[in-house]
A and B are shown apart, each in its own frame.
Chain A
């Protein structure tokens, strides 16, 4: 059984740029959720994807967008990066209608300068 993987591990971007983060869900999982974790804070829900459609969104602006692919992997895109976007971005996969347990990836550390 393969766990959740995320890439890249970390990256540095400049304010105003765009970034794409990637997530591969755990084998057998059809739902992917994305969270933003700022330093010293708990993870904040960004959005979730199920059946390649957005299935719930937290309090994040439209410049945060995502995709889910037929193999259930997912991307998080952030446009017009701001300094406050610097955070650890976590991806979690789960089985819709299952035990609700979320399996987290190791995260991508994004630094915006």
Chain B
């Protein structure tokens, strides 16, 4: 079974400092990885997906197949980045059925 590990449950970063949210996965195929975000009092939403190689709200994520990691990064944190972040590779059933990590709560300190 696929597993995803987000080692940090809580992460606090000063505004303007770099942010890195860690994600490690186990997946036997070639994964299509996602990061989902949940802002306060909002529903879970897609932040970015690996295959599109987009930068959303300044965030990027590089797939490292050797380390089986998909860390989320942003060079300069902003206060509006405070949220719950979930790494989500697909499970056995395909890309539309996600396996979520336990999430990292990111708090940006003004």
Contacts and interface: CB of A to CB of B under 8 A. Distances in A.
Contacts of B91: 45, 56, 58
Given A48-B96, A56-B97, A94-B96, 20 more contacts: A33-B96, A33-B98, A35-B100, A42-B86, A42-B88, A42-B101, A42-B103, A43-B44, A43-B98, A45-B91, A45-B93, A56-B94, A57-B93, A58-B91, A92-B44, A96-B96, A101-B49, A102-B96, A104-B43, A105-B43
Interface of B: 1, 32, 34, 43-46, 49, 86, 88, 90-103
Interface of A: 4, 31, 33, 35, 40-45, 48, 55-59, 90, 92, 94, 96, 99-107
Contacts of A48: 93, 96-97
A111 B88 CA distance: 26
Nearest to B1: A59
Main secondary structure of the interface of B (DSSP, over half): strand
Most buried by B among A31, A58, A90, A100: A100
A41 B46 contact: no
29 contacts: A4-B43, A31-B96, A33-B96, A33-B97, A35-B100, A42-B88, A42-B100, A42-B101, A42-B102, A43-B44, A43-B98, A44-B100, A45-B91, A45-B93, A45-B97, A48-B93, A56-B97, A58-B91, A58-B97, A100-B90, A101-B46, A102-B46, A102-B96, A102-B98, A103-B45, A104-B44, A105-B43, A106-B43, A107-B43
